[in-house]
Amino acid sequence: MEAQPTRDTTKGGTRLAGERLTVGHSRSGHTADRATWPTKTHAVTAGRPGRGRAADGRTPRDARSPSAALGRGPPRSPRASSGPAGTNGPGAAGGAARALPRAAVPAPRLRAALKRARRCTPAQSLRRAMVQPEEQARLYRPRPELLPTAHVPSLPHYQRLYRRSVEEPQEFWGDIAKEFYWKQQHSGPFLRYNFDVTKGKIFIEWMKGAKTNICYNLLDRNVGEKKLGDKVAFYWEGNEPGDSMKITYGELLRKVCQFANVLRNHGVKKGDRISIYLPMILELVIAMLACARIGAIHSVVFAGFSADSLCERILDCGCSLLITADAFYRGDKLVNLKQIADEALQKSKDKGFPLKQCIVVKHLGREEIATDGACSQSPPLKRLCQDVASKWPTHISGLQCIPWDPRMDVWWQDLMSGASTECEPEWCDSEDELFILYTSGSTGKPKGVLHTVGGYMLYAATSFKYVFDYQPEDVYWCTADIGWITGHSYITYGPLANGATSVLFEGIPTYPDAGRMWSIVDKYKVTKFYTAPTAIRLLMKCGEEPVKKHSRKSLKVLGTVGEPINPEAWLWYYRVVGEERCPIVDTFWQTETGGHMLTPLPAATPMKPGSATFPFFGVVPAIMNESGEELEGEAEGYLVFKQPWPGIMRTLYGNHQQFETTYFKKFPGCYVTGDGCRRDKDGYYWITGRIDDMLNVSGHLLSTAEVESALLGHGAVSEAAVVSHPHPLKGECLYCFVTLKDGHEFTKNLADELKKQGIREKIGPIATPDYIQYAPSLPKTRSGKITRRILRKIAQNDRDLGDVSTLVNPGIINQLFNNRCETKL
């Protein structure tokens, strides 16, 4: 597989395509820590300093392992090979770099204008005429206090590391791999892959033949080699304030070994699939790592999913055992998890796939059990609401209302009491399966995304370290649920691989009040905080007072994940929560990618509100038009990635043909994200939403994210969603749903303001909506994503909604149907 780096040999030096940032200089003539960003599009040349030195000749300040191994000066010229895929050598391995992301093409103005006219869609022309808010265009630079200890302290440093990561992926990731334990080194090529469906089967192999165990690297090495046995791995914070415990790395290792032995005693062996259906409790992490320790494949199912959803996932991957809990509280809502699990098991049995064993964690009944000292915890508190009697037929501590089949069900705690705390790990091939994680299932049949051991371990660990600029003294908190990929990569695997201390939270942001998250930040002195735009907008609706009554002085880095964040929410997060001192890492990635793809680095990247900024190490993004032509400079189209990174999924479980069709068929040679993307004149990437959320109005392609951002810019709007609606003349028109902040009322005058000031002035007349409908709330999945599929049905008065079991608020649907189209403009 031949691949050549794209170079621009403009006069004055060699410039890698995509490198258009000038390096600022201080008055003394030394290179500044931050970049000076040009305001006009022009060519920028970058000289090549000596090996191991910065552009001004100084030795980099961050020569620490593995950063030192990564930053060994400028990259060598990549070795090209014309060998076909599957043969030995850099070309076959995909190691020769493909074209770097292009931020600007130096050319005379006339040539640039002609190129834009040739390739630009009507929607792009519209956006160039659009007046962008001043705040959105402004650059927010990292605070200087982050620089002394940062892994990547400047933009030029990022550029050097990034250049090497895409030109020499074997050497770059090979140096990082040396930081981990391998029972056996790989014997063949470091990387082999094929991204082109026209040349054969799609495959990706990193370090095939190498033997390791991810649990051993996360726990045994931290306890033994790194002497972190007494360091806290997790602070667990329950749903009820004051209900908390902690577990150290040493305690976690012993618990994982115990449960790994339990699984082996139940006949679980390497390659078996285990379904885990648990709330956000420590046993969820223990179960995942125990599976990894013995080579079993875990399939975590979000504890908010229905019996039908759980059954579908059990059947699809052929799980041999289910791990669940008695019940849990989410806010003031009681979830009888065991009852839901039993319904799923019965459905599975009815379809000819009976499971023989169900292991049940006694969570709400935990206070009955004497602790054995394995976890350091405060005296157990009641995990109950006062209205428990009305929700349970008997006293909760007896759990007599929990359905129980002694032939199948067994208590977790009973099994653990006699299990050994020593368990030899199963040594797995780098390309052995680690876990299957299903997409949310909000549209069509859920897809079982499969990740493997070696590459995922490298990518989750490395992206966590650099994106959050992790330091040994940090306390990190990701508010996601482990049932989603964010919880896999950035609660479980990434933080533990770095020996981090994390917060594991069972509750919700607004229970018992809107200040809960910030009280937890203060309680544990959280330094790195990672949450979703949906949560930010929810807290915005509650105002600033719940935030400001807490200190939050420990915070150093903020992050967002799950969907593009609108600039208004970004600015609120930056100013109110971070008090303009915490950089925001706005991360773009997917379940399928395993880790961050586009993201700022806290001390290196000047930020733009709403932009995911630049690619992470090893990631080569490109923007394609519908015809499959790669667009250069300022452009908008399909976001693709041109070469593999270690964390990429390997297949869809049991359906490799769908894997190839979904992700590689449309643009052969590239991984297709399914997302739209815009690149601005400075090379920043902006996610515009799923391609199927793009709107075609009178031949103009409009982004739902852009229209929603315009609506959210109005002070009365807290949430907005835009879908298409059939129109006899335009083909499609815009149908908008808006949720209002407290104290605002939806009126015809407000609708007119949203139409004129909110959309026409910010985007243009073509984006004027035909319908704006008030929504008390918007239908969302358990992961917090708005289900536009259902909103499209409501807009078209189509009551054939399909499966709504994944919704957190299905009751809102009838209200939205009743209010439908009443606010036609």
Among 44, 5, 46, 17, which Cα is nearest to 156's? 46
Q: Tokens 């930053």 sit at which residue?
A: 71
The predicted structure's pLDDT at residue 12? 32
Q: Taking 80 as the threshold, does the pLDDT of residue 308 lie above it? A: yes
Q: What percent of the chain has pLDDT over 70?
A: 77
% of the chain with per-residue pLDDT over 90? 64
Tell me the mean pLDDT in the region 439-465. Answer: 86
Taking a C-beta distance cutoff of 8 angstroms, is the pair 746, 738 a contact? yes
Domain with CATH 3.30.300.30 in the chain: 698-818
DSSP 500: -
Model pLDDT for residues 182-237, shown as the tens digit of each residue = 999 998 999 999 999 999 999 999 999 999 999 999 999 999 999 999 999 999 99
Task: Give the per-residue SS3 of 394-444.
Answer: CCHHHCCCCCCCCCCEEEHHHHHHCCCCCCCCCCEECCCEEEEEECCCCCC
Whether the predicted pLDDT of 441 surpasses 60: no
Express each pLDDT in 629-646 by its tens digit.
Answer: 999 999 999 999 999 999
More confident residue, 701 or 18: 701
Residue 498 exposure: Cα atoms within 13 Å on the Cβ side: 31
- DSSP letter at 203 equals E
* Contact (CB, 8 A) for 628 and 642: no
d(C-alpha 459, C-alpha 462), whole Å: 5
Could you tell me how many residues make up the chain? 825
Specify the amino acid at residue 148: P
Q: Tell me the three state secondary structure of residue 548.
A: helix
pLDDT for 572-606, tens place per residue?
A: 999 999 999 999 999 999 999 999 999 999 999 99
Q: How confident is the model at residue 701 (pLDDT cuts 50, 70, 90)?
A: low
Question: What does the pLDDT look like over 598-633, one tens digit per residue?
Answer: 999 999 999 999 999 999 999 999 999 988 999 999
What's the token pair of residue 335?
């979830």
Report DSSP state, residue 50: P
CA distances from 419 to 252, 255, 267 (A): 14, 9, 15
Among residues 670, 560, 653, the alpha carbon closest in space to that of 613 is found at: 560
Please tell me what DSSP assigns to residue 59.
P
CA distance 47 to 55: 8
Q: What share of the chain is helix, strand, coil (3-state, %, to 5)?
A: 30, 20, 50
Query: Rounded mean pLDDT of the chain?
Result: 81
Amino acid symbol at 160 = R
How many other β-carbons are positioned within 10 Å of the β-carbon of residue 398?
A: 11
pLDDT at residue 60, as a whole number: 36
Angle at 454 between CA 449 and CA 455, to 5 degrees: 60
Q: Pick from 97, 161, 19, 30: which is nearest to 643 by CA? A: 97
Edge-first strand listing for the sheet containing 528-531: 376-377, 244-248, 232-237, 501-505, 475-478, 528-531, 557-560, 584-586
Q: Could you say which architecture CATH assigns to the domain 264-426?
A: 3-Layer(aba) Sandwich (3.40)
Residues 6+ apart with CB under 8 A from 224: none
Q: Are 752 and 758 within 8 A, CB to CB?
A: no
Choice between 394 and 669, residue whose per-residue pLDDT is larger: 669
Give the Cα separation of 487 and 399 in Å (integer): 29
Q: Where, residue-wise, is CATH 3.40.50 in the chain? A: 264-426
The class that CATH gives domain 698-818 is alpha beta
3-class DSSP state for residue 474?
A: coil
Residues contacting residue 453 through CB under 8 Å, at least 6 positions apart: 212, 213, 214, 292, 428, 429, 430, 431, 432, 433, 434
- pLDDT, tens digit (0-9, with 9 covering 90-100), for 239-270: 999 999 999 999 999 999 999 999 999 999 99
Token pair listed for 525: 């002195």
Residue 112's CB is within 10 A of a number of other CB atoms, namely 17
Answer yes or no: pTM beyond 0.85.
no
Q: Which two tokens stand for residue 120?
A: 């630009």
Tokens of 141: 């630079």
The amino acid present at 55, given as its one-letter code, is: A
CA dihedral sign, ordered 399, 400, 404, 410: positive
Partners of 717 in beta bridges: 740
Phi, psi angle pair for 390, to nearest 5°: -80, -15
Which run of H or E residues covers position 476? strand 475-478
Per-residue pLDDT at 106? 33
When comparing pLDDT for 824 and 328, which is higher? 328
First CA to last CA distance, the chain: 56
Of residues 388 and 622, more confidently modeled: 622
pLDDT given at position 136: 61
Cβ count near 390 (within 10 Å): 9
**36: Cβ contacts below 8 Å, ≥ 6 apart:** 22, 23, 24
